Structure 1
Amino acid sequence: MGFTVTSAFRWWVREHPNRVAVDFDGEELTYADLSAWSSRVAAALIADGIRPGDRVSICAANTLDYAVLIVAIMLSGGIHAPLSFRSSARELRGSLDTVTPSLLFTDADRAGTAREALGDEAGKLRSLDVIRPLREATAPAPSTLHHAEPDEPVFIIGTSGSTGTPKGVVYSHRSIMTYAAEFAIMEPRTGNGGSILAAGPYSSTSGTLLLMQFLSVGNTIYTQSRFTPELALKLLQEKKITTFLASTIFFERIAALPEFAAADLSTIAFAQISGARVNPAILQAYREKGVVLRPAYGCTEAGGAWAARDETAFSEPEKCGPGAIFTEFAIRGEDGGFAPAGTAGEILIRSGALSQGYWNNPQATAETFRDGWLHTGDKGVLDERGNLTFIDRIKDIIISGGLNISAMEVESVIAEVPGVEEVVVLSAQDDQFGETPLAVVHGDARVTIDAIIAHCNAHLANYKVPRYVAIEPEPLPRMASGKISKVILREKFKDAAGMLPKVR
């Protein structure tokens, strides 16, 4: 047996077959149930031509069948390459070109978009509806399934990054198991016998990575088909959930509920919050219930990295902690060396839990993963004890409802609108999503807000379409270098929600 997710999963199937592995909208699967069903699906994938290393993509909303298929792909030796269910056909085509899957599964709502994106490759399309009947199929012989090795890829998560060019972040069995081990060692109640409320889509690390991580340590994973704060608060209490990891906006929406005041959250042993700066009032609201919200710094290439420890979580909540047992932070100074404490620079991460790099993209991998460190492109500072404070994203990323949006990708699409001469996409504050795109555009008389939104709707996922648009009569301000000054525009539109109407 190797240091693999597969080995860990099979261990829990043996040791605790009747423990609930996944509870999806109230439908439960024990570890034995999940093993039996996913093994049958894995055998079907192999019969459909999937071989070790083949990519299998899924473009669908979260369902229990989707979760089963993720595990099945791993058991078949395939590599799960999920695609955002919000994608347009254009975005899907870009992702398909990146991961080149052998099969693409979709739900009914995404089938037409997927077929358009596949074009001449429509023979790769499969319906997610085939998964449910396989629950009652004949059990395959154990020798049919794949024996994984620690450094084999398990999944590829797509990221647009700061360049707008699709990249696939690769996680291996070893990196997932190291990530899981950090949590279980440092916070034991996140391990054997614990439970987690997972709110993220399976097309993101907050969905697939958490699923793999917590199955590896014998947890029960509670998942909703669609996050609602009311149901989340109910599950946290009724199921006595011990772990909750989510973006800031999810914690804020739960705390805004009238019933939050009387809620009993005493079973939550570890709560990690990330994705945006945290209002001290939110920290205090949860602390009054005995829940310490631990700010974390992370990125797609490094998962959640790690969260604040007791030394800072109580007294300096703006700090994200000093790393973890297998994870180290450092700051790269302007001279390219390590910056001393108190000096801001680029955040570097060194960890056994890092992704392997970018799928089939050695140049991007070499640029980002070098000298043993992940160069995040984000700005931060360490204190004397090594605790990290995140300052700003050097890369132009907007985090909306926990999902990353590349400003450059949105800018590229808006630039296609007839008459647009200059465009900048910034982050605007939003009560529902935390952040949302704001487009600042200069052009001729043909440029209208309606034309911009219509073009974005046709070529971008809904969550990437700007909710605020400012059409400027004069050219956008520029720096001495000739580049458009986002600093000036951020200052001008810092209160976009108060000065501009929402356009959708």
Structure 2
Amino acid sequence: MYRETGWLEGRKRLAPDQIALVDGETGRRCSYDLLYRRSVRAARYLSEMGISKGDRVAFLAPNDMAVFVCFFACERLGAIFVPLNWRLSPRELNGILEDAGPKVLLFHRRMEHLAAALAAPSIVPLDLLDPDDPPEPEGEEEADYPSLSDPAMILYTGGTTGKPKGVVLTHGSIFWNSINTILSWQLTAKDRALSCLPLFHTGGLNVLSLPVLQAGGTLVIIDRFDPDRVMDVIDRERCTIALMVPTMYHLLIRSPRFAEKSFPTMREFLSGGAPCPREVHRAFANKGLPFREGYGLTEAGPNNFVTDPSTARKKPGTVGKPMLYNQVRIVSEDGTDSPAGSVGEIWIRGGHLFDRYWNNPEATDESLVDGWLRTGDLGMRDEEGDFYIVGRKKEMIVTGGENVYPAEVEQIIAEHPEVEQVVVVGAPDPKWGEAVAAAVVPRKGSCLTGEGLRSYLRGRLAAYKIPKAVLFMDELPKTPVGKIDRRAILRLFVQKD
């Protein structure tokens, strides 16, 4: 039965020989026709194992073409795709598996030792499901594709606020995110997108990957991030658009080779996951390269805003205006809309929102209010309707009755010539309630001191925003999904006292 969810079959029909996937490590290619045939064969294999509509299929693999083969196979059956974060410990993964209740766990041979420590009714290596050269489908049966309201995938959050929550995205969530993205970023079949974020979370799967494929473009997959390797792949594969997180851009512009690169095929560099330092904006602006920031979260899209290139140049740090089929509010503590220039919580509504948290109705009810998602993030909009992300609501520091937003302080500290990275947190303080505290990774050869940093900040920040405590570190701790672990940094300040 035809439904909007069967668009891979449509892509195979429209342009069978168009390259859908490229392995950026080996150069191996997969056309839309081959991707479709592989997914049909994989769906048949899963069906023979007893997988049917509504069943969960867990998936453990590095960035690989097989991720998309498995996703489209699950879509064909109406099964629910559950990609797993291989950076987690066996104990953490088993907790997720217990919650998701998959019928089968598929694993890449590189993950064999980790898979052996996991518990699932059936554990199957991927090469049985998806051989490199599948035969032509014989007697291919017509697919009964799921509807847009049916669950497509469960993505588990990183768990930095406690037990990981399973975010249920429907096929409609993915479809409307793709439509918004294709229209807003003007994706076409000529685009060649670099995918270097992990494909076990929404940044890797849904920001660019599935929208580019739905548009008929080509996805270039990289398994491991290395700045020089990324630049080589962009040039060799003639990439036109790329998404990276600020940490990746930080490493990219630090490479000695960045200065010599012109990236002639690139029309867009996109950043997401956290506010991007101004020095990154400047590095790309100095080359005349378009650079835009976005904002999203697993529960919403993740794509929500679009910035036109001229606005991105004039207003570094803005995420722009809501995409065509999204609505966004900035809501004050009393539940009313905040005026322009005032900070409030970001609320989002649209067809791209998640459906619910798996097995967690209480958390669902807390997050969804009359169709609006309460993001827990703070933002503001200016008089021209452009939005800015200020930080997490729970990360806001209240010191002596004044509100301090870590992102603002981090941006100013990051401009110090001897600072490599910085994170600002609110440490408990008997006098102020909370004290602004900064964890700083200095650049090599730096002689920067806490007092030296505070001296630099005087005149650049209000006195109450200047860190009362500064901790110098060789590197910042990270969560299993690669984000800065603010809780671990806060614990260091608490232990220090």
* Residue 191 (structure 2) aligns with: 194
1:160–1:485 distance in 2 versus 1, CA, 3 Å: farther
Work out whether residues 265 and 290 of structure 1, in 8 Å CA contact, stay in contact via their aligned partners in 2: no
Q: 2:257 aligns with which of 255, 259, 262?
A: 259
* Residue 472 (structure 2) aligns with: 496
1:226–1:160 distance in 2 versus 1, CA, 3 Å: closer
1:43 aligns with 2:25: no
Give the superposition deviation at 1:133.
2.8
Q: Which moved more, 1:230-239 or 1:106-115?
A: 106-115
* Residue 231 (structure 1) aligns with: 229
Q: Cα deviations across residues 139-187 of structure 1 (Å, max 9, x unaligned)?
A: 1544264422111121111114563122111222222121111222223
Q: Distance in 2 between matches of 1:479 and 1:304?
A: 41
Work out whether residues 294 and 320 of structure 1, in 8 Å CA contact, stay in contact via their aligned partners in 2: yes
Q: Distance in 2 between matches of 1:500 and 1:38?
A: 40
Spell out the pairing of 1:207-246 with structure 2 (5 A cutoff). Answer: 207-209=204-206, 210-246=208-244
1:395–1:139 distance in 2 versus 1, CA, 3 Å: farther
Work out whether residues 42 and 72 of structure 1, in 8 Å CA contact, stay in contact via their aligned partners in 2: yes
1:333–1:109 distance in 2 versus 1, CA, 3 Å: same
Instruction: Tell me the matched-pair count.
Output: 429
1:362–1:3 distance in 2 versus 1, CA, 3 Å: farther
* Residue 299 (structure 1) aligns with: 297
* Residue 378 (structure 2) aligns with: 379
SS of 1:379 mapped into structure 2: strand
Give the superposition deviation at 1:70.
2.4
Give the superposition deviation at 1:394.
2.1
Q: Distance in 1 between matches of 2:192 and 2:171?
A: 21
* Residue 270 (structure 2) aligns with: 272
1:436–1:310 distance in 2 versus 1, CA, 3 Å: closer
Give the superposition deviation at 1:136.
2.7
Work out whether residues 395 and 425 of structure 2, in 8 Å CA contact, stay in contact via their aligned partners in 1: no
1:23–1:276 distance in 2 versus 1, CA, 3 Å: same
Work out whether residues 346 and 377 of structure 1, in 8 Å CA contact, stay in contact via their aligned partners in 2: yes
Work out whether residues 285 and 313 of structure 2, in 8 Å CA contact, stay in contact via their aligned partners in 1: no
Q: 1:170 aligns with which of 160, 168, 171?
A: 168
Work out whether residues 52 and 79 of structure 2, in 8 Å CA contact, stay in contact via their aligned partners in 1: yes
Spell out the pairing of 1:301-316 with structure 2 (5 A cutoff). Answer: 301-302=299-300, 303-316=302-315
* Residue 53 (structure 2) aligns with: 52
* Residue 280 (structure 2) aligns with: 282
Alignment-mate amino acid for residue 4 of structure 1: E
Q: What is the percent sequence identity of the aligned residues? A: 29
1:154–1:499 distance in 2 versus 1, CA, 3 Å: closer
* Residue 19 (structure 2) aligns with: 20
Q: Distance in 1 between matches of 2:477 and 2:268?
A: 39
Give the RMSD, CA atoms, in angstroms: 3.2
* Residue 79 (structure 1) aligns with: 80
Give the superposition deviation at 1:253.
2.0
Give the superposition deviation at 1:354.
1.6
1:29–1:433 distance in 2 versus 1, CA, 3 Å: farther
Q: Which moved more, 1:96-105 or 1:28-37?
A: 96-105
Q: Which is bigger in relative contact order (C-alpha 8 A, separation at least 6)? A: 1
1:34–1:159 distance in 2 versus 1, CA, 3 Å: same
Give the superposition deviation at 1:495.
4.1
Q: Distance in 2 between matches of 1:499 and 1:84?
A: 22
1:249 aligns with 2:225: no
1:334–1:396 distance in 2 versus 1, CA, 3 Å: closer
1:501–1:163 distance in 2 versus 1, CA, 3 Å: closer
* Residue 102 (structure 2) aligns with: 101
Alignment-mate amino acid for residue 313 of structure 1: A
Work out whether residues 248 and 274 of structure 1, in 8 Å CA contact, stay in contact via their aligned partners in 2: yes
* Residue 155 (structure 2) aligns with: 157
Q: Distance in 2 between matches of 1:218 and 1:4?
A: 15
Q: Which blocks of at least 5 consecutive residues in structure 1 are unaligned? A: 398-427, 441-475
1:96–1:338 distance in 2 versus 1, CA, 3 Å: same
Give the superposition deviation at 1:487.
4.6
